[in-house]
């Protein structure tokens, strides 16, 4: 009788459930998040660094160049937002698959697939997956790095995955990368795993080196860049932003200042259940004798969330994407424990209740996503209409904009944006007035709002809820 050889095919190794989840995630982005939605404020900053649509926007201290390099293969030669969205949707699906694959052997394939589906079905993940923003990539980089770190004791080759995941995080947001990897560095030191510690440090250095070098070239040093980043974010220190994050769950992409009522309890319910299920997952792991594989991602999720819950005075739902990604697999493990017996059979009542709960959760996520996409698309169209009106008035490249929403509107209009005050100050009033003698310049304010003193006698035209104060040197067609 011939010897039986193990089936090591792709299907037999259990990769296909995670691949299906990743493919569905990509498809859902293309269907639910409109490729023609336009670019958001932060996206225009990142894309303008490598694109030809407009001059590079001011790059503030907290930002890193990872997103700009990520979009460069498309943005460097095309101004099509639709093409960029499709590219990022496909890339984010691939990133999710690779991050889940890093956990193979640590949890059953079905747990990994469900964990990936839970993370991918959040409105926040779907909304930001195809966007030129860093937080999703920190999330998948962290998920992959933690999985490879746990596997590296049995398979030293997995340390290359640790390097890659840490580098990806640091490439996108160096400070977030440090928070996510902090428990891994501690574990490597306690467990006396110098190679794992070296892999983590090598990844952080490889991804963050450019950011550190830029700090010395453009910001006066690393300490100065960190200080300036803290100032721009309102001053980092002991603060309570849990309620701010709750308010942002209703679809507020940026909650600053974060005022107003909390969203409907149905919108917040999953956020309250999440830590409870994570605790159940830890109990299950302890009883099964595999504490480490659950405790480590939970610890990394905690440190990833700490700065955005307790050290910053405002909120954006995308800030917690790394924490959600790291919680997803332990939560999926808990759900299977609640819905099945130790023998693997379904508990009918528990399974039905969980199915109802998950269905309701998905329905809420879809409603919030739809509203957020509609509202965001409307804002971006207003910016495009404002830019078109500026072009009609003669404010065409080379040109300069300042004032309210000048950063995204300038991108749409093909102009440079500057600010003489606020978080992104990079010019002065005298500099703006001087520029108005050489090129078309406009100040943007709220409708009915007073312009700066230097622009009070400039020509004013309303557009999309704003007033455009155009310098008199511009020779355009005038209002119709």
Q: Is the peptide bond before 467 cis (omega within 30 degrees of 0)?
A: no
**Considering Cα of 396, then 402, then 403, then 406, what sign does the dihedral take?**
positive
Average pLDDT over residues 252-267: 90
Q: How far is CA 26 from CA 281, 366, 424, in A?
A: 28, 15, 34
Give residue-wise pLDDT tens across range 112-128: 999 999 999 999 999 99
Bridge partner residues of 462 (DSSP): 467
Share of the chain above pLDDT 70, in %: 96
Name the phi and psi angles at 443, rounded to 5.
-110, 135
479 has pLDDT over 50: no
Enter the pTM of the model.
Answer: 0.94
Which range among 20-24, 132-136, 190-194 shows the weakest confidence by mean pLDDT? 190-194
Contact between residue 446 and residue 404 where contact means Cβ atoms under 8 Å apart: yes
* pLDDT reported for residue 13: 57
Half-sphere exposure at residue 267, Cβ-oriented, CA atoms within 13 angstroms:
20
Query: Which strand ranges, in their side-by-side order, compose the sheet holding 400-403?
Result: 416-418, 400-403, 441-446, 466-470, 459-463
* pLDDT reported for residue 276: 96
DSSP structure string for 185-198: HHHHHHTT-HHHHH
* pLDDT reported for residue 196: 96
**Residues 6+ positions from 436 with CB-CB distance below 8 Å:** 400, 471, 473
* pLDDT reported for residue 14: 66
**What Rg do the C-alpha atoms of the chain give, in angstroms?**
24
Give residue-wise pLDDT tens across range 19-55: 999 999 999 999 999 888 999 999 999 999 999 899 9
Q: How far is CA 129 from CA 34, 97, 139, in A?
A: 12, 13, 11
User: Per the structure block, which two tokens stand in for 17?
Assistant: 């459930």
CA–CA–CA angle 51, 57, 59 (5° rounding): 110
* pLDDT reported for residue 421: 84
Bridge partner residues of 463 (DSSP): 466
* pLDDT reported for residue 98: 97
* pLDDT reported for residue 1: 40
């Amino acid at each position: 009788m011939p010897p039986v050889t193990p089936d090591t095919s792709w299907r037999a190794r259990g990769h296909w459930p995670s691949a299906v989840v990743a493919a569905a995630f990509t498809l859902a982005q293309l269907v639910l998040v409109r490729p023609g939605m336009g670019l958001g404020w932060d996206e225009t900053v990142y894309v303008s660094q490598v694109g030809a649509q407009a001059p590079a926007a001011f790059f503030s201290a907290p930002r890193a160049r990872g997103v700009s390099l990520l979009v460069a293969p498309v943005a460097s030669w095309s101004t099509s937002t639709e093409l960029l969205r499709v590219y990022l949707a496909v890339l984010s699906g691939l990133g999710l698959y690779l991050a889940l694959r890093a956990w193979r052997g640590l949890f059953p394939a079905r747990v990994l697939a469900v964990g990936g589906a839970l993370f991918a079905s959040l409105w926040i993940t779907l909304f930001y997956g195809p966007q030129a923003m860093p937080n999703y990539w920190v999330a998948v980089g962290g998920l992959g790095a933690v999985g490879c770190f746990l596997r590296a004791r049995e398979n030293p080759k997995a340390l290359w995955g640790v390097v890659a995941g840490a580098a990806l995080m640091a490439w996108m947001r160096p400070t977030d990368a440090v928070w996510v990897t902090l428990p891994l560095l501690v574990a490597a030191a306690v467990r006396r795993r110098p190679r794992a510690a070296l892999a983590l440090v090598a990844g952080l250095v490889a991804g963050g080196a450019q950011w550190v070098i830029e700090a010395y070239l453009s910001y006066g040093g690393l300490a100065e860049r960190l200080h300036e980043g803290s100032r721009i974010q309102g001053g980092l220190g002991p603060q309570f932003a849990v309620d701010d994050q709750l308010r942002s769950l209703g679809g507020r992409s940026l909650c600053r200042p974060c005022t107003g009522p909390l969203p409907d309890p149905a919108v917040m319910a999953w956020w309250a259940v999440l830590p409870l299920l994570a605790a159940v997952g830890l109990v299950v792991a302890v009883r099964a004798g595999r504490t480490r594989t659950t405790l480590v991602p939970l610890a990394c999720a905690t440190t990833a969330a700490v700065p955005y819950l307790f050290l910053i005075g405002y909120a954006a739902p995308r800030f917690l994407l790394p924490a959600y990604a790291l919680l997803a697999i332990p939560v999926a493990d808990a759900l299977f424990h609640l819905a099945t017996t130790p023998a693997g059979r379904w508990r009918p009542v528990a399974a039905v209740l969980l199915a109802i709960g998950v269905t309701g959760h998905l329905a809420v996520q879809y409603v919030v996503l739809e509203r957020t996409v509609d509202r965001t698309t409307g804002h971006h169209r207003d910016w495009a209409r404002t830019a078109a009106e500026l072009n009609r008035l003669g404010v065409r490249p080379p040109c300069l904009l300042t004032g309210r929403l000048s950063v995204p509107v300038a991108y749409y209009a093909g102009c440079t944006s500057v600010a003489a005050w606020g978080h992104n100050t990079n010019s002065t009033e005298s500099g703006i007035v001087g520029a108005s003698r050489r090129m078309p310049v406009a100040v943007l304010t709220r409708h009915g709002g007073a312009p700066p003193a230097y622009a009070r006698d400039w020509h004013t035209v309303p557009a999309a809820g704003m007033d455009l104060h155009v310098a008199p040197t511009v020779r355009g067609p005038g209002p119709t």
